Structure 1
Amino acid sequence: MSGGNGNGVVWAIPQDRELPPPAESIVLKDRFLSPPKPLFALDDFMKEIDGDHMPMSYLQAAIAFHELHEFGAVWHGVSWGRDTVLPAEGGEETTFPAGEWAMIEEEPEILEPHFFYIQ
Protein backbone atom coordinates (compact mmCIF):
# COMPACT_ATOMS: atom_id res chain seq x y z
CA MET A 1 0.00 0.00 0.00
CA SER A 2 0.98 3.57 -0.58
CA GLY A 3 -1.37 6.15 0.89
CA GLY A 4 -4.86 5.18 -0.27
CA ASN A 5 -3.59 3.06 -3.18
CA GLY A 6 -2.98 -0.62 -2.89
CA ASN A 7 -2.49 -3.79 -4.86
CA GLY A 8 -1.55 -7.35 -4.10
CA VAL A 9 0.43 -9.52 -6.42
CA VAL A 10 0.06 -13.17 -7.37
CA TRP A 11 3.02 -15.24 -8.58
CA ALA A 12 3.16 -18.81 -9.82
CA ILE A 13 5.99 -20.61 -8.06
CA PRO A 14 7.02 -24.27 -8.12
CA GLN A 15 4.98 -26.43 -5.77
CA ASP A 16 8.09 -27.62 -3.93
CA ARG A 17 9.39 -24.09 -3.19
CA GLU A 18 8.54 -21.79 -0.31
CA LEU A 19 7.63 -18.17 -0.93
CA PRO A 20 10.73 -16.19 0.12
CA PRO A 21 10.57 -13.03 2.22
CA PRO A 22 10.23 -9.82 0.16
CA ALA A 23 13.86 -8.87 1.02
CA GLU A 24 15.07 -11.95 -0.92
CA SER A 25 13.11 -10.99 -4.03
CA ILE A 26 13.73 -8.58 -6.89
CA VAL A 27 11.76 -5.32 -6.91
CA LEU A 28 9.81 -4.54 -10.08
CA LYS A 29 10.21 -0.78 -10.40
CA ASP A 30 8.19 -0.71 -13.64
CA ARG A 31 5.04 -2.18 -11.99
CA PHE A 32 2.42 -0.35 -9.91
CA LEU A 33 3.76 0.17 -6.36
CA SER A 34 6.99 -1.76 -7.23
CA PRO A 35 6.06 -5.24 -5.96
CA PRO A 36 8.66 -7.86 -4.94
CA LYS A 37 9.02 -10.90 -7.21
CA PRO A 38 10.69 -14.16 -6.20
CA LEU A 39 13.57 -14.97 -8.55
CA PHE A 40 12.03 -18.34 -9.48
CA ALA A 41 8.44 -17.06 -10.03
CA LEU A 42 6.88 -17.08 -13.49
CA ASP A 43 6.31 -13.68 -15.08
CA ASP A 44 2.73 -14.72 -15.91
CA PHE A 45 0.77 -16.94 -13.49
CA MET A 46 -1.71 -17.76 -16.28
CA LYS A 47 0.92 -20.06 -17.82
CA GLU A 48 0.02 -22.50 -15.05
CA ILE A 49 -3.75 -22.31 -15.55
CA ASP A 50 -4.88 -25.45 -17.34
CA GLY A 51 -8.53 -26.09 -18.18
CA ASP A 52 -10.33 -28.97 -19.81
CA HIS A 53 -10.90 -27.06 -23.09
CA MET A 54 -14.63 -26.81 -22.43
CA PRO A 55 -16.31 -23.39 -22.79
CA MET A 56 -16.88 -23.08 -19.02
CA SER A 57 -13.16 -23.51 -18.29
CA TYR A 58 -12.34 -20.60 -20.64
CA LEU A 59 -14.84 -18.41 -18.82
CA GLN A 60 -13.46 -19.50 -15.44
CA ALA A 61 -9.89 -18.78 -16.59
CA ALA A 62 -10.91 -15.31 -17.81
CA ILE A 63 -12.53 -14.50 -14.46
CA ALA A 64 -9.50 -15.88 -12.56
CA PHE A 65 -7.21 -13.71 -14.72
CA HIS A 66 -9.10 -10.52 -13.81
CA GLU A 67 -9.67 -11.39 -10.16
CA LEU A 68 -6.05 -12.38 -9.50
CA HIS A 69 -4.69 -9.29 -11.25
CA GLU A 70 -6.81 -7.23 -8.89
CA PHE A 71 -5.96 -9.17 -5.72
CA GLY A 72 -5.72 -6.72 -2.82
CA ALA A 73 -6.58 -3.74 -5.01
CA VAL A 74 -7.52 -0.45 -3.40
CA TRP A 75 -8.43 2.84 -5.11
CA HIS A 76 -6.28 3.26 -8.28
CA GLY A 77 -5.53 -0.46 -8.33
CA VAL A 78 -9.22 -1.29 -8.87
CA SER A 79 -10.54 -1.71 -12.39
CA TRP A 80 -12.31 -5.07 -12.72
CA GLY A 81 -14.00 -4.67 -9.32
CA ARG A 82 -15.94 -1.63 -10.53
CA ASP A 83 -17.75 -3.66 -13.21
CA THR A 84 -21.28 -4.90 -12.69
CA VAL A 85 -23.02 -7.58 -14.70
CA LEU A 86 -26.43 -6.20 -15.56
CA PRO A 87 -29.51 -8.42 -15.69
CA ALA A 88 -31.40 -9.08 -18.91
CA GLU A 89 -34.90 -7.64 -19.27
CA GLY A 90 -37.03 -9.27 -16.56
CA GLY A 91 -33.94 -10.91 -15.10
CA GLU A 92 -32.83 -11.11 -11.50
CA GLU A 93 -31.86 -7.75 -10.01
CA THR A 94 -28.21 -7.08 -9.12
CA THR A 95 -26.83 -3.65 -8.23
CA PHE A 96 -29.21 -1.82 -10.59
CA PRO A 97 -32.90 -2.67 -10.98
CA ALA A 98 -33.60 -3.75 -14.57
CA GLY A 99 -35.72 -0.64 -15.19
CA GLU A 100 -32.79 1.74 -14.55
CA TRP A 101 -30.74 0.78 -17.61
CA ALA A 102 -31.38 0.29 -21.30
CA MET A 103 -29.61 -1.50 -24.13
CA ILE A 104 -27.92 1.00 -26.50
CA GLU A 105 -28.22 -1.54 -29.30
CA GLU A 106 -30.74 -4.27 -30.01
CA GLU A 107 -30.54 -6.95 -27.32
CA PRO A 108 -28.64 -9.98 -28.71
CA GLU A 109 -30.43 -13.30 -29.01
CA ILE A 110 -27.81 -14.99 -26.78
CA LEU A 111 -26.63 -13.12 -23.68
CA GLU A 112 -24.61 -15.98 -22.18
CA PRO A 113 -20.88 -16.14 -22.94
CA HIS A 114 -20.24 -18.33 -25.95
CA PHE A 115 -17.13 -19.70 -27.60
CA PHE A 116 -16.14 -20.96 -31.01
CA TYR A 117 -13.48 -23.56 -31.67
CA ILE A 118 -11.39 -22.68 -34.73
CA GLN A 119 -9.35 -25.43 -36.29
Structure 2
Amino acid sequence: METEHIYSVNELIRLREKAQRAIKIQSSELEIDGWSKSDYDIKALLDVFKPLRAREGIIFKSYLYRSGLNGNGIIRAVQASENDQASDLFLGNDLFSPPNPKGSFENLMDGIQGDGSPWSYMCASLFLREALAFGEMWHGISWGHFHIYVPNIEGEESVIPEYWDLDWRRVPPDFTPQVTVTEEAVVVKFYTFCGVGASGVFEHIDTYKKRLLCI
Protein backbone atom coordinates (compact mmCIF):
# COMPACT_ATOMS: atom_id res chain seq x y z
CA MET A 1 0.00 0.00 0.00
CA GLU A 2 1.32 3.45 -0.95
CA THR A 3 0.51 6.62 0.98
CA GLU A 4 1.44 10.18 0.05
CA HIS A 5 2.04 12.95 2.57
CA ILE A 6 2.00 16.57 1.40
CA TYR A 7 3.73 19.52 3.08
CA SER A 8 3.58 23.23 2.38
CA VAL A 9 6.45 25.04 0.72
CA ASN A 10 6.31 27.73 3.40
CA GLU A 11 6.72 25.07 6.09
CA LEU A 12 9.99 23.95 4.51
CA ILE A 13 11.17 27.53 4.01
CA ARG A 14 10.59 28.39 7.68
CA LEU A 15 12.30 25.20 8.79
CA ARG A 16 15.31 25.92 6.65
CA GLU A 17 15.56 29.50 7.90
CA LYS A 18 15.72 28.18 11.46
CA ALA A 19 18.33 25.61 10.41
CA GLN A 20 20.53 28.24 8.79
CA ARG A 21 20.47 30.30 11.97
CA ALA A 22 21.32 27.21 14.00
CA ILE A 23 24.27 26.20 11.81
CA LYS A 24 26.08 29.55 12.09
CA ILE A 25 29.55 29.48 13.60
CA GLN A 26 31.37 31.96 15.81
CA SER A 27 33.43 34.64 14.06
CA SER A 28 36.40 33.74 16.28
CA GLU A 29 36.59 30.39 14.46
CA LEU A 30 37.17 32.03 11.08
CA GLU A 31 40.76 33.11 11.67
CA ILE A 32 42.72 29.85 11.28
CA ASP A 33 43.72 28.71 7.78
CA GLY A 34 43.59 25.00 7.01
CA TRP A 35 41.58 22.52 9.08
CA SER A 36 40.79 23.24 12.72
CA LYS A 37 38.57 21.72 15.40
CA SER A 38 35.32 23.63 15.85
CA ASP A 39 33.33 24.08 19.05
CA TYR A 40 30.08 23.83 17.11
CA ASP A 41 27.53 21.52 18.75
CA ILE A 42 25.26 19.77 16.25
CA LYS A 43 22.55 19.65 18.93
CA ALA A 44 21.66 23.21 17.89
CA LEU A 45 20.76 21.92 14.43
CA LEU A 46 19.04 18.78 15.69
CA ASP A 47 16.84 20.93 17.93
CA VAL A 48 15.38 22.50 14.77
CA PHE A 49 14.38 19.12 13.35
CA LYS A 50 12.22 17.83 16.20
CA PRO A 51 11.66 14.24 14.94
CA LEU A 52 15.44 13.61 14.81
CA ARG A 53 17.98 12.90 17.51
CA ALA A 54 21.46 11.42 17.94
CA ARG A 55 21.72 7.66 18.24
CA GLU A 56 22.81 6.33 21.60
CA GLY A 57 26.58 5.98 21.94
CA ILE A 58 27.32 8.53 19.21
CA ILE A 59 29.15 11.83 19.56
CA PHE A 60 29.69 14.45 16.87
CA LYS A 61 32.88 16.28 15.97
CA SER A 62 32.90 19.44 13.88
CA TYR A 63 35.80 20.76 11.81
CA LEU A 64 36.30 23.94 9.79
CA TYR A 65 38.49 24.62 6.78
CA ARG A 66 39.61 28.14 5.91
CA SER A 67 41.65 29.50 3.02
CA GLY A 68 41.50 33.28 3.06
CA LEU A 69 37.83 34.21 2.73
CA ASN A 70 36.87 30.76 1.42
CA GLY A 71 35.52 28.14 3.76
CA ASN A 72 34.19 24.62 4.11
CA GLY A 73 33.58 22.27 6.98
CA ILE A 74 32.61 18.77 7.98
CA ILE A 75 30.70 17.17 10.84
CA ARG A 76 31.55 13.59 11.76
CA ALA A 77 29.43 11.07 13.66
CA VAL A 78 31.80 9.09 15.89
CA GLN A 79 31.41 6.05 18.12
CA ALA A 80 31.86 7.48 21.61
CA SER A 81 33.72 4.34 22.70
CA GLU A 82 36.44 5.04 20.12
CA ASN A 83 36.81 8.77 20.69
CA ASP A 84 40.47 9.76 20.39
CA GLN A 85 41.23 13.35 21.38
CA ALA A 86 44.80 13.10 20.11
CA SER A 87 43.59 12.73 16.53
CA ASP A 88 42.37 16.34 16.61
CA LEU A 89 45.83 17.79 17.20
CA PHE A 90 47.20 17.42 13.65
CA LEU A 91 44.50 18.14 11.08
CA GLY A 92 46.45 19.30 8.01
CA ASN A 93 45.77 21.89 5.32
CA ASP A 94 44.39 19.80 2.46
CA LEU A 95 40.76 20.67 1.70
CA PHE A 96 40.22 17.28 0.08
CA SER A 97 41.57 15.34 3.08
CA PRO A 98 39.17 16.36 5.86
CA PRO A 99 39.66 15.07 9.41
CA ASN A 100 38.44 11.51 9.82
CA PRO A 101 38.77 10.55 13.49
CA LYS A 102 38.88 6.95 14.63
CA GLY A 103 35.43 5.42 14.96
CA SER A 104 33.73 7.88 12.60
CA PHE A 105 31.03 6.84 10.15
CA GLU A 106 31.29 7.52 6.43
CA ASN A 107 27.69 8.75 6.42
CA LEU A 108 26.69 11.35 9.01
CA MET A 109 23.14 9.96 9.05
CA ASP A 110 24.42 6.70 10.55
CA GLY A 111 24.56 8.67 13.79
CA ILE A 112 21.00 10.00 13.52
CA GLN A 113 17.64 8.39 14.22
CA GLY A 114 14.08 9.62 13.87
CA ASP A 115 10.62 8.84 15.14
CA GLY A 116 9.67 6.96 11.96
CA SER A 117 6.98 9.41 10.86
CA PRO A 118 6.79 10.56 7.22
CA TRP A 119 7.77 14.06 8.38
CA SER A 120 10.93 12.67 9.99
CA TYR A 121 12.18 11.61 6.56
CA MET A 122 11.59 15.07 5.11
CA CYS A 123 13.44 16.47 8.12
CA ALA A 124 16.29 14.02 7.53
CA SER A 125 16.70 15.16 3.92
CA LEU A 126 16.86 18.82 4.90
CA PHE A 127 18.97 18.19 8.01
CA LEU A 128 21.65 16.34 6.06
CA ARG A 129 21.94 19.07 3.43
CA GLU A 130 22.26 21.77 6.09
CA ALA A 131 24.82 19.72 8.03
CA LEU A 132 26.89 19.11 4.89
CA ALA A 133 26.87 22.88 4.29
CA PHE A 134 28.50 23.51 7.68
CA GLY A 135 31.28 26.08 7.37
CA GLU A 136 30.59 27.07 3.76
CA MET A 137 31.91 30.52 2.84
CA TRP A 138 32.38 32.45 -0.40
CA HIS A 139 33.69 30.08 -3.12
CA GLY A 140 33.02 27.19 -0.78
CA ILE A 141 29.26 27.80 -0.80
CA SER A 142 27.18 25.12 -2.51
CA TRP A 143 23.86 24.25 -0.84
CA GLY A 144 23.67 27.83 0.41
CA HIS A 145 22.85 28.97 -3.14
CA PHE A 146 19.76 26.75 -3.34
CA HIS A 147 16.34 28.02 -2.27
CA ILE A 148 13.18 26.02 -1.68
CA TYR A 149 11.23 26.56 -4.90
CA VAL A 150 8.00 28.52 -4.77
CA PRO A 151 6.16 28.57 -8.12
CA ASN A 152 3.95 31.45 -9.20
CA ILE A 153 0.69 30.35 -7.65
CA GLU A 154 -2.04 32.32 -5.95
CA GLY A 155 -0.95 33.65 -2.59
CA GLU A 156 2.72 32.80 -3.15
CA GLU A 157 5.63 34.75 -4.57
CA SER A 158 8.09 32.88 -6.76
CA VAL A 159 11.71 32.77 -5.62
CA ILE A 160 12.74 33.10 -9.28
CA PRO A 161 13.38 36.74 -10.29
CA GLU A 162 11.07 38.02 -13.02
CA TYR A 163 14.00 38.57 -15.38
CA TRP A 164 14.96 34.88 -15.26
CA ASP A 165 13.76 33.12 -18.40
CA LEU A 166 13.96 29.40 -17.73
CA ASP A 167 14.07 26.88 -20.54
CA TRP A 168 12.15 24.00 -18.98
CA ARG A 169 13.16 20.47 -19.94
CA ARG A 170 10.17 19.12 -18.05
CA VAL A 171 7.59 20.93 -15.96
CA PRO A 172 6.43 18.78 -13.04
CA PRO A 173 2.65 18.76 -12.56
CA ASP A 174 3.11 19.64 -8.89
CA PHE A 175 5.96 21.33 -7.00
CA THR A 176 4.54 20.49 -3.58
CA PRO A 177 7.05 18.88 -1.16
CA GLN A 178 5.96 15.33 -0.47
CA VAL A 179 6.86 12.06 1.20
CA THR A 180 5.64 8.80 -0.34
CA VAL A 181 5.60 5.71 1.87
CA THR A 182 5.53 2.25 0.28
CA GLU A 183 5.93 -1.20 1.77
CA GLU A 184 9.67 -1.19 1.09
CA ALA A 185 10.79 2.43 1.02
CA VAL A 186 10.15 6.06 1.86
CA VAL A 187 10.68 8.60 -0.93
CA VAL A 188 11.18 12.31 -0.22
CA LYS A 189 10.73 14.85 -3.01
CA PHE A 190 11.03 18.63 -3.10
CA TYR A 191 12.24 21.35 -5.46
CA THR A 192 14.79 24.15 -5.23
CA PHE A 193 15.94 27.06 -7.36
CA CYS A 194 19.60 27.99 -7.79
CA GLY A 195 20.71 31.10 -9.67
CA VAL A 196 24.45 30.39 -9.52
CA GLY A 197 26.43 28.27 -11.99
CA ALA A 198 24.13 25.75 -13.68
CA SER A 199 21.08 27.81 -12.72
CA GLY A 200 17.60 26.38 -12.77
CA VAL A 201 14.94 24.53 -10.82
CA PHE A 202 16.14 21.23 -9.37
CA GLU A 203 14.16 18.18 -8.32
CA HIS A 204 15.53 16.47 -5.20
CA ILE A 205 14.53 12.84 -4.62
CA ASP A 206 15.85 10.90 -1.62
CA THR A 207 14.95 7.25 -1.11
CA TYR A 208 15.22 5.61 2.30
CA LYS A 209 14.76 2.01 3.30
CA LYS A 210 11.58 1.86 5.32
CA ARG A 211 12.13 2.19 9.09
CA LEU A 212 15.76 3.26 8.53
CA LEU A 213 15.27 6.27 10.80
CA CYS A 214 12.97 4.62 13.32
CA ILE A 215 13.81 4.88 17.00
TM-score w.r.t. length of structure 1: 0.70
What corresponds to 1:10 in structure 2? 75
What corresponds to 2:106 in structure 1? 43
Q: Which residue identity is paired with 1:93?
A: E
Q: Which residue identity is paired with 1:53?
A: G
CA contact (8 A) 1:19 1:38 kept: yes
After the TM superposition, which of the residue ranges 14-23 and 85-94 deviates more from structure 2? 14-23
Distance 1:28 1:108, change over 3 A: farther
State how many pairs are aligned. 115
CA contact (8 A) 1:70 1:77 kept: no
Mark the runs of 5 or more structure 2 residues left unpaired by the alignment. Answer: 1-65, 185-215
What is the CA distance between 1:116 and its match in structure 2?
3.2
Structure with greater contact order relative to length (CA < 8 Å, sep ≥ 6): 1
Return the match for 1:34 from 91, 97, 105: 97
1:92 pairs with 2:156: yes
Return the match for 1:112 from 177, 185, 204: 177
Distance 1:110 1:35, change over 3 A: closer
Structure number with the higher strand fraction is 2
User: What SS does the corresponding residue of 1:10 show, helix, strand or coil?
Assistant: strand
What is the CA distance between 1:72 and its match in structure 2?
0.8
User: What SS does the corresponding residue of 2:136 show, helix, strand or coil?
Assistant: coil
Identical aligned residues as a percent = 30
What is the CA distance between 1:24 and its match in structure 2?
5.6
What is the CA distance between 1:9 and its match in structure 2?
1.2
TM-score w.r.t. length of structure 2: 0.43
User: What SS does the corresponding residue of 1:37 show, helix, strand or coil?
Assistant: coil
Deviating above 4 A after TM superposition, structure 1's stretches of 4 or more consecutive aligned residues are 15-19, 94-97, 99-103
CA contact (8 A) 1:6 1:75 kept: yes
Q: Which residue identity is paired with 1:14?
A: Q
Mark the runs of 5 or more structure 1 residues left unpaired by the alignment. Answer: none
After the TM superposition, which of the residue ranges 56-65 and 16-25 deviates more from structure 2? 16-25
